[in-house]
Amino acid sequence: MSLAIFDLDNTLIADDSDYLWGQFLVDQGIVDKDRYERANAKFYDEYKQGHLDIVEFLRFSLQPLSQHEPEQLYQWREQFILDIITPILLKPAQQLIAKHRERGDTLMVITATNRFVTAPIVALYGIEHLLATTPEMIDGRYTGQYTDIPCFQAGKVQLLEAWLKTRPETLEDSWFYSDSHNDLPLLKLVDHPVAVDPDEKLAAYANEAKWPIISLRSDYCPIAHFSK
C-alpha cells in the first residue's frame, strides 16, 4: 500500500477552483465586481508566474467568508459546486483515482485552495484525506484568517510531514500528481512524481528529470506509468 497524493486545481479538475470561486462571488454580486475581479486576476497571474504572496492572497480570498453567516455561505457553495465545479470534473481523473484505490493505496489531495472551497470537491472524488489551507472559525463564524500554515509550495511538504507523524503511512513508494511548478518541493520528495497537463516551467523540469508527463484532459486514463 502506497500513498497516492493529488493536487486539485488544473490536475483533478479542469480549472482553478480558487479563482473560479472568486469569479462566482463576482457574478453573484456578493463582492464588488471591479475591485474583486481585478484583484482575483492579479493574484492568479502571480500564482502562475510563481511569485504569489500567499499571505496577502489569503487575506483577500478569505475576507468574504467573514462577512456572511455560514448558512448563507454553504448555500452559495452548494450552488458553486453544482453550476461551476461539476462540469469540470474529469473522467480520466476518476479512473486514475480508481486505479490507485484498486491497488490499496491511501488517497490524499493536497491543495493551496482553502478547505471551505475544496472539501466538497474532494468528496465528489471519494478521496478521504485532504490537506488544505484551513480558514479560521471562532464561535461559529469564519474570521477571515487561517489556521496553521498555508498549504502552498514548501508548506505542502510541512503539512504532509506533520500528517505522516500521526499515521502509519510513509513516503516509501509514494506518488504525487500535479500540474504546477509551485509544487516542485513536494514533487521532488515523493518516489513517483508525475506531471499532469503541466505548466511550462513544470514541463521543462519534468522533461529534464525524466518524470512521467500525462494528461487527464483526454478520453482515457493514462495508466501505463504504473509499476506492475
Residues 6+ apart with CB under 8 A from 20: 80, 84, 85
Q: Provide the pLDDT for residue 222.
A: 59
Percent of the chain with pLDDT strictly greater than 90: 91
What average pLDDT score do residues 83-103 get? 97
Confirm whether 179 is a catalytic residue: no
Instruction: Using pLDDT thresholds of 50, 70 and 90, give the confidence band for residue 182.
Output: very high
Hey, what amino acid is at 88?
I
* Tens-place pLDDT, residues 105-161: 999 999 999 999 999 999 999 999 999 999 999 999 999 999 999 999 999 999 999
Kindly write down the DSSP assignment for every residue of 36-89, as one continuous string: HHHHHHHHHHHHHHT---HHHHHHHHHHHHHTS-HHHHHHHHHHHIIIIIGGGB
Instruction: Tell me the β-bridge partners of 207.
Output: none
| pLDDT in the model for residue 228 | 41
Check if 7 is active-site: yes
Calculate the average pLDDT of the chain: 94
Q: What is the pTM of this model?
A: 0.94
> Residue 131 has what pLDDT?
98
106, 3 Cβ separation under 8 angstroms: yes
CB 81 within 8 A of CB 121: yes
Q: Percentage of the chain surpassing pLDDT 70? A: 96
> In CATH, what number does 3-214 get?
3.40.50.1000
Q: Between the CA atoms of 135, 7, 178 and 183, what dihedral angle is there, to the nearest 10 degrees?
A: 30
Nearest-angstrom CA–CA distance, 190 and 172: 8
